[in-house]
């Protein structure tokens, strides 16, 4: 009686074994190799049959391996659907069933990593966002525990520590990654930047804020009439309200002296008053007694931070700068339009397909014109279509849609039409603006 049952089970298993080779991922991350085929199988049914067989014949190595492989394969199918906790549960069972299979452990590590990365990328949209950094960090540590050679997990761990301004911990994690796989794109740049940051920030003071992680050079604190907390709080309230934005992440803010800034952001143009690269970096220039300019720069860079969060960086540079300047116009110093007026009168408006290059031009006059033109275009768009449309456009860009397509979908007219209408509207605007000139302040 028993013998008959066993042969039946073995027959069933030998058929299943054909497809129960464990899928192994090619790298440290999930790539859909072989998973498309595997997704066609009825894994819950296969697993339940194998579990039955395994309960009856716990010492049969073929059944045991097949069951572990079935858990593994089903987990990877679930992982491609981002059903992370189920995928992790099945992979843990796979490891338990067959603890000697290193491929399965590597897969478990890759799934923990991908889950962490998904959280890290998308936390602003999640409801438990305030703790998502910690959850991502915990998952990344689990990824490392399952596979100590998962270099991508170390990189992500470093990114998480860096975003929390734990520079020493970030450097340590990235060094581990470099010891495993030094050629991963972006890794060496991270190491260079973190060592620069650590030295520039060594003597800075930390200031507490609910929404920002603030580092300030002691010299900045001597500035009369300037309180970094106050400046950031009022900026956040105004800009996030305008863009209907909820800030769920703590943004690092570093306020430098001129020398420290040059050391930390060596490629910033000489006229730069600040930068945003995931961290808001503000510099006290020769205008350091101009508190209004300092506050305006904070509005500008904070706007970049919001735009980054909404669009994941999928936005043309000129348009990004135009919105930052528009927020300065509302809550900081109104941008000048002298270069724009001149260019208009001499028929030298920058062609739209050349404006991204102009924004970063070493030719200061051209760069300033590009900023003024971008600002003015955004100003026109908001006057004409309203702020909520602009926010809708940013949301579409956040889905990785191309800029032209997103504009057409949001405004119902092609970008080129809006650009043509802007140019027709421009002369009246220049005439008006000239009647009420603003104080001469350099653009940031
Ligand atoms: Zn900018």
Together in a domain, 319 and 277: no
Together in a domain, 290 and 345: no
With respect to residue 180, please indicate whether it lies within any of the assigned structural domains: no
pLDDT computed for residue 435 by the predictor: 62
- Ligand 1 center–CA 300 separation, angstroms: 6
- Ligand 1 center–CA 321 separation, angstroms: 5
Residue the block writes with tokens 């067989």: 53
CA distance 258 to 270: 10
Write the burial class of residue 110 (CB in 10 Å: 0-12 exposed, 13-18 middle, 19+ buried). Answer: buried
- Ligand 1 center–CA 304 separation, angstroms: 7
With respect to residue 136, please indicate whether it lies within any of the assigned structural domains: yes
- Ligand 1 center–CA 117 separation, angstroms: 27
Please determine, for residue 439, whether its predicted confidence score (pLDDT) is greater than 50: no
- Ligand 1 center–CA 276 separation, angstroms: 7
Together in a domain, 291 and 319: no
- Ligand 1 center–CA 129 separation, angstroms: 27
Together in a domain, 33 and 109: yes
pLDDT computed for residue 398 by the predictor: 94
- Ligand 1 center–CA 90 separation, angstroms: 47
- Ligand 1 center–CA 275 separation, angstroms: 7
- Ligand 1 center–CA 444 separation, angstroms: 7
For residue 43, what are its two tokens? 């894994």
Please determine, for residue 279, whether its predicted confidence score (pLDDT) is greater than 90: yes
pLDDT level of residue 385 (50, 70, 90 thresholds): very high
- Ligand 1 center–CA 408 separation, angstroms: 25
**DSSP string across 238-288:** HHHHHTT----SPEEEEEE-HHHHHHHSTTS-TT--EEESSSEEEE--TTT
Please determine, for residue 355, whether its predicted confidence score (pLDDT) is greater than 80: yes
Residue predicted with more confidence, 385 or 436: 385
With respect to residue 178, please indicate whether it lies within any of the assigned structural domains: no
With respect to residue 212, please indicate whether it lies within any of the assigned structural domains: yes
With respect to residue 191, please indicate whether it lies within any of the assigned structural domains: no
Helices (H), 123-227: 132-146, 151-163, 167-180, 187-200
- Ligand 1 center–CA 270 separation, angstroms: 14
- Ligand 1 center–CA 132 separation, angstroms: 28
With respect to residue 158, please indicate whether it lies within any of the assigned structural domains: no
Together in a domain, 369 and 275: no
Number of domains in the chain: 3
Domain that holds residue 28: 2-148
- Ligand 1 center–CA 134 separation, angstroms: 30
Together in a domain, 333 and 298: no
pLDDT cut 90: percent of the chain above it: 65
Write the burial class of residue 40 (CB in 10 Å: 0-12 exposed, 13-18 middle, 19+ buried). Answer: exposed
The number of residues making up the chain comes to: 444
pLDDT computed for residue 246 by the predictor: 92
Together in a domain, 340 and 427: yes
Q: What is the CATH number of the domain that holds 238?
A: 3.40.30.160
For residue 154, what are its two tokens? 């170390």
pLDDT level of residue 152 (50, 70, 90 thresholds): very high
8 Å CB contact between 160 and 192: no
With respect to residue 69, please indicate whether it lies within any of the assigned structural domains: yes
Together in a domain, 384 and 441: yes
pLDDT computed for residue 444 by the predictor: 42
pLDDT computed for residue 180 by the predictor: 95
With respect to residue 241, please indicate whether it lies within any of the assigned structural domains: yes
Average pLDDT over residues 94-114: 92
pLDDT level of residue 4 (50, 70, 90 thresholds): very low
Q: Final residue of a domain: which of 127, 148, 169?
A: 148
8 Å CB contact between 180 and 154: yes
Q: Final residue of a domain: which of 254, 285, 310?
A: 310
pLDDT computed for residue 11 by the predictor: 41
- Ligand 1 center–CA 32 separation, angstroms: 38
- Ligand 1 center–CA 319 separation, angstroms: 10
- Ligand 1 center–CA 375 separation, angstroms: 11
8 Å CB contact between 255 and 220: yes
Please determine, for residue 126, whether its predicted confidence score (pLDDT) is greater than 90: no
- Ligand 1 center–CA 109 separation, angstroms: 39
Question: Which of 121-130, 134-143, 386-395 is least confident?
Answer: 121-130
Q: Final residue of a domain: which of 290, 310, 330?
A: 310
Together in a domain, 365 and 394: yes
Q: What is the CATH number of the domain that holds 419?
A: 1.10.390
pLDDT computed for residue 427 by the predictor: 94
Please determine, for residue 127, whether its predicted confidence score (pLDDT) is greater than 60: no
Question: Which of 59-68, 90-99, 124-133 is least confident?
Answer: 124-133
Together in a domain, 76 and 14: yes
* Torsion from C-alpha of 159, 160, 161, 165, nearest 10 degrees: 90
- Ligand 1 center–CA 329 separation, angstroms: 13
- Ligand 1 center–CA 320 separation, angstroms: 7
- Ligand 1 center–CA 228 separation, angstroms: 19
Together in a domain, 8 and 128: yes
- Ligand 1 center–CA 171 separation, angstroms: 27
- Ligand 1 center–CA 216 separation, angstroms: 20
- Ligand 1 center–CA 301 separation, angstroms: 6
- Ligand 1 center–CA 194 separation, angstroms: 22
Average pLDDT over residues 106-118: 92
pLDDT computed for residue 147 by the predictor: 93
Together in a domain, 284 and 394: no
What pTM does this model have?
0.82
For residue 70, what are its two tokens? 């079935």
pLDDT computed for residue 83 by the predictor: 96
- Ligand 1 center–CA 335 separation, angstroms: 12
């Amino acid at each position: 009686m028993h013998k008959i049952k066993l042969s039946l089970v073995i027959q069933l298993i030998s058929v299943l074994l054909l497809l129960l080779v464990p899928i192994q991922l090619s790298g440290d991350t999930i790539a859909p190799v072989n998973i498309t085929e595997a997704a066609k199988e009825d894994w819950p049914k296969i697993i339940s049959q194998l579990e039955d067989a395994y309960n009856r014949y716990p010492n049969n190595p073929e059944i045991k391996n097949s069951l572990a492989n079935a858990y593994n394969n089903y987990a990877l199918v679930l992982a491609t659907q981002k059903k992370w906790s189920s995928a992790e549960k099945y992979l843990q069972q796979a490891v338990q069933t067959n603890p000697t299979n290193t491929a399965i452990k590597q897969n478990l590590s890759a799934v923990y990593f991908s889950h962490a990365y998904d959280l890290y990328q998308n936390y602003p949209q999640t409801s438990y966002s305030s703790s998502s950094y910690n959850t991502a960090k915990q998952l990344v540590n689990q990824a490392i525990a399952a596979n100590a050679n998962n270099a991508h997990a170390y990189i992500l761990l470093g990114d998480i520590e860096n975003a929390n301004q734990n520079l020493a911990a970030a450097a340590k994690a990235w060094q581990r990654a470099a010891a495993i796989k030094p050629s991963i794109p972006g890794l060496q740049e991270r190491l260079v930047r973190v060592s620069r940051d650590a030295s520039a920030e060594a003597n800075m003071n930390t200031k507490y804020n609910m929404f920002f992680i603030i580092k300030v050079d002691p010299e900045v604190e001597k500035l009369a009439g300037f309180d970094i907390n106050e400046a950031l709080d009022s900026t956040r309230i105004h800009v996030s309200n305008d863009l209907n934005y909820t800030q769920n992440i703590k943004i690092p803010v570093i306020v430098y002296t001129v020398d420290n800034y040059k050391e930390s952001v060596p490629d910033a143009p000489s006229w730069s008053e600040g930068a945003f690269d995931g961290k808001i970096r503000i510099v006290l220039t020769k205008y350091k007694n101009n508190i209004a300019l300092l506050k305006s720069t904070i509005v500008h860079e904070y706007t970049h931070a919001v735009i980054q969060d909404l669009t994941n960086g999928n936005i043309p540079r000129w348009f990004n700068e135009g919105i930052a300047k528009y927020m300065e116009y509302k809550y900081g110093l109104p941008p000048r339009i002298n270069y724009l007026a001149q260019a208009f009168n001499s028929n030298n408006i920058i062609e739209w397909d050349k404006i991204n290059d102009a924004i970063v031009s070493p030719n200061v006059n051209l760069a300033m014109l590009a900023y003024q033109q971008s600002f003015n275009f955004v100003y026109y768009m908001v006057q004409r279509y309203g702020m909520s449309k602009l926010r809708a456009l940013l949301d579409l860009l956040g889905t990785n849609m191309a800029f032209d397509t997103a504009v057409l979908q949001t405004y119902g007219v092609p970008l080129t039409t809006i650009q043509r209408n802007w140019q027709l509207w421009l002369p009246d605007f220049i005439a008006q603006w000239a009647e009420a000139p603003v104080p001469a302040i350099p653009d940031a």
